Amino acid sequence: MIEGQENLKSGIRIAVVRQRYNPYGGAERFVERALAALVREGAEVTLITRSWEGAPQEGFRQKICNPGYSRFTGGRTARDRSFTACAQREMAEGGYDIVQSHERIPGCMIFRAGDGVHAAWLDHRARGQSAAARLLARYSPFHRYILKQEAAMLASPALKAVICNSALVREEMQRYYGVTENKLVVIENGVDLKSYHPRLAAEWRERQRSALGLEADIPVFLYVGSGFERKGVPQLLAALAMMKSRQAQLVIVGSDRRQAVFERQARRLGLENRVHFVGPQQDVRPYYGMADSFVLPTRYDPMPNAALEAMACGLPIITSTTCGIATRVTAGENGFVCDALDTVQLALHMDRLATPGTAHAMREAARAAVLDLDLETMAGKLIGLYHSLL
């Protein structure tokens, strides 16, 4: 039971909608943690999903919504449309007391905006695009469909609350769609403060660096995330090449179907011996343990779990103004913040953290910035919201 909260009434039926689960995604890990908390509180939880990778979570049932669609005639728009129709039928017929959707599906009671505001993302992305690319995005059937779904869901009378995982998302919900303040609830992602801890350095620094062929005393920056273009890998590689410190190394954890493009960029910049693409990792803790600093110059990320985990491990971070974690970064104390496209400033910040002793001096402040985001607090806020709605 969460301290200060009474249990949810036994037998309360809750549906959580997430189209696809894989063990690497930040939003998916939030779902997993939330489900575990709800089951402990006595709720009957159903996950409505199209696909779920890995072993199923103990204590809840799955409802698979994976109707057929044509990849050749409709692509991802057809995929999302078919999942939405199936999920809406299950939401209507399942007899649920609460439906919390992590997808933009009209008819849900709660929407968790873990992926942020799509209209805002398109604007942020447009800053780095050519005129032709902006035009294609504007008339893309997929983006037009998502924007229509987003607007319809937020205007639906069924919607009682929007969970924003950062102040950034709350502000954008108001600015783009005029969502009223009383519907917006900020519940930031929780982080396992026991598993993600500065002591990982003692356990993994030497071992993991040795495995990657890295020297013990060189500065190592860590990036964790999938979707390299959105999360700033092109700018990060450019900044690394501009650094005064020519010893600094970058380790990139994550997956991207266009990884070869970024590997070629690294070679063009002469970084083939300083950048290490290690792919997605089920357990990222050894990499947090071996790194000195964490860097995520993302064009848009509402609240990245990887950044929270890095700070919990005592890593100072460099991130962008369009990242939800930025409000927890105090320049010069636990990291730095700059514009996602400002590679000159990014390089200066990286040089600052590469200076001997600088990153280490920020470790305590980095962890202190996220100590209020333990998993129990996150679960307590979520259950408190459910109580208020019931």
Question: Given a cut of 60, is residue 55 above it in pLDDT?
Answer: no
For residues 98 and 60, what is the distance between their CA atoms, to the nearest angstrom? 15
Question: Given a cut of 60, is residue 347 above it in pLDDT?
Answer: yes
Q: Are the beta carbons of 15 and 46 closer than 8 angstroms?
A: yes
pTM for the model stands at 0.89
Question: Given a cut of 70, is residue 204 above it in pLDDT?
Answer: yes
pLDDT digits (tens, 9 = 90+) for 140-199: 999 999 999 999 999 999 999 999 999 999 999 999 999 999 999 999 999 999 999 999
- 314 alpha-carbon distance from chain centroid: 19
Q: Are strands 110-112 and 161-164 parallel, antiparallel or unpaired?
A: parallel
For residues 340 and 239, what is the distance between their CA atoms, to the nearest angstrom? 11
Average predicted confidence (pLDDT) for the chain? 90
Start-end of H helices in 178-229: 200-212
Handedness of CA 71, 77, 80, 86 (dihedral sign): negative
Question: Given a cut of 60, is residue 219 above it in pLDDT?
Answer: yes
Q: Predicted confidence band at 333 (pLDDT cuts at 50, 70, 90)?
A: very high
Question: Given a cut of 70, is residue 10 above it in pLDDT?
Answer: no
From 3.10.20.30, 3.40.50.2000, 1.20.1250.20, 3.90.1150.10, which CATH number describes the 200-368 domain? 3.40.50.2000
Give the residue-averaged pLDDT of 235-250: 96
For residues 80 and 59, what is the distance between their CA atoms, to the nearest angstrom? 27
Q: What's the confidence (pLDDT) of residue 1?
A: 38
- Name the class of domain 13-190+374-389: alpha beta
Top-confidence residue, 314 or 132:
314
Q: What's the confidence (pLDDT) of residue 24?
A: 56
Q: What's the confidence (pLDDT) of residue 30?
A: 65
Which structure tokens are listed for 204? 């993994």
Q: What's the confidence (pLDDT) of residue 133?
A: 87
Q: What's the confidence (pLDDT) of residue 28?
A: 61
Strand partners, 223: 252
CATH 3.40.50.2000 domain range(s) in the chain: 13-190+374-389, 200-368
pLDDT digits (tens, 9 = 90+) for 104-142: 999 999 999 999 999 999 999 998 888 898 888 888 999
